[in-house]
C-alpha cells in the first residue's frame, strides 16, 4: 500500500512524513524548488505477528508494510496554469490513496502562503486542482474517442465515451469521482487513467499542540466531508508527533500520556488507511518465516495466494485455514487439526482478517 502526502506549501507535509516514518528529512527540503519525492516504508504494527513469531521461532519475521511518499507542495500562484508538474502527476497517480495535509496551526515565524490560516479553503483549492487535472485528461480522451468513432463506432469506445461523459458532468459540478458508484465493467474501462479525484482521500488537519484534546472543535467544519464516500478526516499535531518519534518508547509513552494522546499518528493513519481502502491481513507461518500479507476485503483464496507468489495462485488446489483467534489458545497447527478448527477451503473461500493459511498448490 502506498500513500501520497500532498498539500499547500508550509502545511506541515514533511513534518507529518517524519512523524509517520521516523525519517529526519529537512522540513524545508522543498522550499528550494526541488521536486524530488521522499519515500519511506514502515512496518504495520501488529501484535499478532509478534505472538506468532514467539510460538514458531522462525528465522525471519516479516510484518506488513506501508509506503509513504512526501510530494512537493502545490503551488498557490494564480499565474500558474496548474499547480501540478508532470513529475508530480507521475508520482501521485501511482499511489493507492492521497493524504492531504491542511494547516490549522498558527505560527508567525512560518507565514501561510495565502496570508491566513483556513484549512477548509485550502482543501477546496486542492479539490479544484484535482478536478481540473482529471477534466483535462477526460476532455482529451473524449476528443480522441470522437475521432475514432467517426471512423469506426466500436462498442467499447461507445461505452468508454459514455462513462467519461458521466465523469465529466460530475466533475464540472465539483463532485469528485470517489463519491460515485461504478460498475465492475466501468471500473475496468477507466482504471488506467488513475483519476486523482477517484482515489480514496485522507484529510489530515494539522493542529496546534494547544488543540490536542479539542480535535472535535477543529474538525466540526469537516463533518460533512467525513461522511462522504471513500473519505476520512482526522486531526494530528504533526510537530508534536515528530518530536515524539525521536524519543525512546518509554519516553514517548509518557509524553503521549501527559498530552492525552492515546495512539501514535502512525497507528491512527494505518488504521484509517486499512479501513478506507478495505484492507485486511492474513498470515503464513512456519520455521522459516512468519509473515503478514495485506489484501483487499472479499479476496478469494486463490487471489490471496497470488499475493504470496503468482505460481501458487496459478496452481492453487486448496487452502488450509485456521483463524488466529482459534490458533492462539492451542499454539499448534496439529492441535488445531485435532480440535477441528483447521479446515480445508476451496477457490470460493473469502479470506478473513486474521486467517492463518497454508496454500496447497501444484505447478
What is the C-alpha separation between 47 and 267, in angstroms, rounded?
12
Is the per-residue pLDDT at 165 higher than 60?
yes
User: Three cell numbers at 67?
Assistant: 509506503
**Cβ distance 105 to 236 under 8 Å?**
no
Q: Mean pLDDT over residues 336-356, rounded? A: 97
User: Three cell numbers at 318?
Assistant: 486448496
pLDDT at 231: 95
What is the C-alpha separation between 192 and 179, in angstroms, rounded?
18
Q: Mean pLDDT over residues 51-62, rounded? A: 96
What is the C-alpha separation between 110 and 11, in angstroms, rounded?
10
Q: Which of 32-41, 59-68, 107-116, 141-150 has the lowest mean pLDDT?
A: 32-41
DSSP-assigned beta bridge partners for residue 201 = 98, 231
Q: What is the pLDDT of residues 189-248, one digit of tens each?
A: 999 999 999 999 999 999 998 888 888 888 999 999 999 999 999 999 999 989 988 888
Confidence tier at 11 by pLDDT (50, 70, 90): very high
pLDDT at 315: 96
Is the per-residue pLDDT at 85 higher than 80?
no
Confidence tier at 73 by pLDDT (50, 70, 90): low
Higher pLDDT, 21 or 74: 21
**Cβ distance 6 to 71 under 8 Å?**
yes
Higher pLDDT, 25 or 176: 176
Q: Which domains does the chain have, with CATH numbers?
A: 2-276 (3.40.50.300), 298-361 (3.10.20.30)
Q: Quick one: what percent of the chain has pLDDT higher than 70?
A: 95
- Stated as kind and residue range, the H or E segment containing 232 is strand 231-236
Q: What is the pLDDT of residues 120-147, one digit of tens each?
A: 999 999 999 999 999 999 999 999 999 9
Confidence tier at 79 by pLDDT (50, 70, 90): very low
Q: What is the pLDDT of residues 247-303, one digit of tens each?
A: 888 898 898 888 888 888 888 888 999 999 999 999 999 999 999 999 999 999 999
Residues 6+ away with beta carbon under 8 Å from 42: 20, 21, 22, 65, 66, 67, 68, 266
- Closest by Cα among 203, 212, 149 to 176: 203
Query: For the chain, what is the mean pLDDT?
Result: 90
What is the C-alpha separation between 327 and 87, in angstroms, rounded?
48
pTM of the model: 0.88
- Closest by Cα among 270, 259, 258 to 232: 270
Longest dimension (CA), the chain: 72
Ramachandran sector of residue 218 (left: φ over 0; alpha: ψ -120 to 50; beta: rest) = alpha
DSSP-assigned beta bridge partners for residue 323 = 355
Q: Quick one: what percent of the chain has pLDDT higher than 90?
A: 69
Confidence tier at 32 by pLDDT (50, 70, 90): very low
Strand, helix or coil for residue 100: strand
Confidence tier at 22 by pLDDT (50, 70, 90): confident
Confidence tier at 152 by pLDDT (50, 70, 90): confident
- Closest by Cα among 275, 192, 245, 190 to 1: 275
pLDDT at 167: 96
What is the C-alpha separation between 68 and 83, in angstroms, rounded?
21
What is the C-alpha separation between 245 and 263, in angstroms, rounded?
12
DSSP-assigned beta bridge partners for residue 70 = 5, 38
Amino acid at each position: 500500500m502506498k500513500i501520497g502526502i500532498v498539500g499547500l506549501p508550509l502545511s506541515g507535509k514533511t513534518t507529518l512524513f517524519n512523524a509517520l516514518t521516523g525519517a529526519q528529512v529537512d522540513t524545508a527540503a522543498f522550499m528550494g524548488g526541488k521536486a524530488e519525492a521522499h519515500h519511506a516504508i514502515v512496518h504495520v504494527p501488529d501484535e499478532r505477528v509478534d505472538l506468532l513469531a514467539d510460538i514458531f521461532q522462525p528465522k525471519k519475521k516479516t510484518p506488513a508494510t506501508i509506503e509513504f511518499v512526501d510530494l512537493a507542495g502545490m503551488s498557490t500562484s494564480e499565474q500558474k496554469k496548474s499547480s501540478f508538474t508532470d513529475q508530480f502527476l507521475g508520482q501521485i497517480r501511482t499511489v493507492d490513496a492521497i493524504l492531504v495535509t491542511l494547516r490549522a496551526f498558527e505560527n508567525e515565524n512560518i507565514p501561510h502562503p495565502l496570508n491566513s490560516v483556513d484549512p477548509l479553503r485550502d482543501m477546496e483549492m486542492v479539490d479544484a486542482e484535482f478536478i481540473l487535472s482529471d477534466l483535462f485528461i477526460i476532455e482529451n480522451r473524449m476528443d480522441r474517442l470522437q475521432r475514432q468513432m467517426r471512423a469506426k463506432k466500436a462498442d467499447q469506445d461507445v461505452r468508454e465515451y459514455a462513462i467519461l461523459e458521466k465523469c465529466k458532468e460530475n466533475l464540472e459540478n465539483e463532485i469528485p469521482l470517489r463519491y460515485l458508484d461504478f460498475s465492475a465493467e466501468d471500473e475496468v474501462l477507466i482504471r488506467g487513467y488513475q483519476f486523482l479525484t477517484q482515489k480514496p482521500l485522507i484529510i489530515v488537519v494539522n493542529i496546534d499542540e494547544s488543540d490536542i484534546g479539542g480535535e472535535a472543535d477543529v474538525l466540526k467544519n469537516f463533518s460533512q466531508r467525513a461522511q462522504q464516500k471513500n473519505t476520512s478526516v482526522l486531526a494530528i499535531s504533526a510537530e508534536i508527533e515528530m518530536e515524539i518519534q525521536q524519543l525512546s518508547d518509554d519516553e514517548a509513552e509518557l509524553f503521549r500520556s501527559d498530552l492525552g494522546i492515546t495512539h501514535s499518528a502512525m497507528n491512527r493513519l494505518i488504521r484509517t488507511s486499512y479501513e478506507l481502502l478495505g484492507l485486511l491481513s492474513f498470515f503464513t507461518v512456519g520455521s522459516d518465516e512468519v509473515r503478514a500479507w495485506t489484501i483487499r476485503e472479499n479476496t478469494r483464496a486463490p487471489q490471496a495466494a497470488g499475493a504470496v507468489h503468482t505460481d501458487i495462485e496459478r496452481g492453487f488446489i486448496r487452502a488450509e485455514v485456521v483463524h488466529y483467534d482459534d490458533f492462539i489458545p492451542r499454539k499448534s497447527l496439529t492441535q488445531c487439526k485435532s480440535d477441528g478448527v483447521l479446515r480445508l477451503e476451496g477457490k470460493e473461500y473469502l479470506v478473513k482478517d486474521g486467517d492463518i493459511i497454508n496454500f496447497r498448490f501444484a505447478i
